[in-house]
Amino acid sequence: MAFWEEKTLDQMTETEWEALCDGCGRCCLLKLEDEDTGILITSDVRCQLLDGDTCGCTDYPNRQAKVPDCIKLTLQNVTEIPWIPKTCAYRRISEGKGLAWWHPLVSGDPQTVIDVGVSVSGRTVLEGDVEPDTWEEHAVEWPEWEPPEEL
């Protein structure tokens, strides 16, 4: 039996916790908050450290020092952060759903995250390339899209 099937999030080692990340990059998209309503809007603008093709952090060990707004997912906050995608392995496991069939730990291939459209690979703009007065043009809904449970 796989570790994610026999352990809860709080029982996992740091290595197991890190392995749960499917590498989609969705959590590294910048969010906008409507000042009047408080509604969070996801953009297609990626963090300055996110590689737009591989969806890997270019400086993961130092990310929080370089990007003060970077939020490290923890057992405590993973269920409280409203913008964690429904597809996120941490969220799915905390909700008792297990990993999706396309997750690299299940499929054996990191490409499945891209193939099913969960990954932001090739669909984002680097934070530094966006003019401040054009942020509204970068609001997108596709990060909330979920692939079918099975094919």
Sign of CA dihedral 140, 102, 11, 14: negative
* Residues contacting residue 9 through CB under 8 Å, at least 6 positions apart: 17, 75, 78, 90, 93, 94
Q: What is the pLDDT along the chain (151 residues), one digit of tens a residue?
A: 999 999 999 999 999 999 999 999 999 999 988 889 988 888 999 999 999 999 999 999 999 999 999 999 998 899 899 889 889 999 999 999 999 999 999 999 999 999 999 999 999 999 999 998 898 899 998 777 777 776 5
Q: Please state the φ and ψ torsions of residue 90, each to the nearest 5 degrees.
A: -65, -45
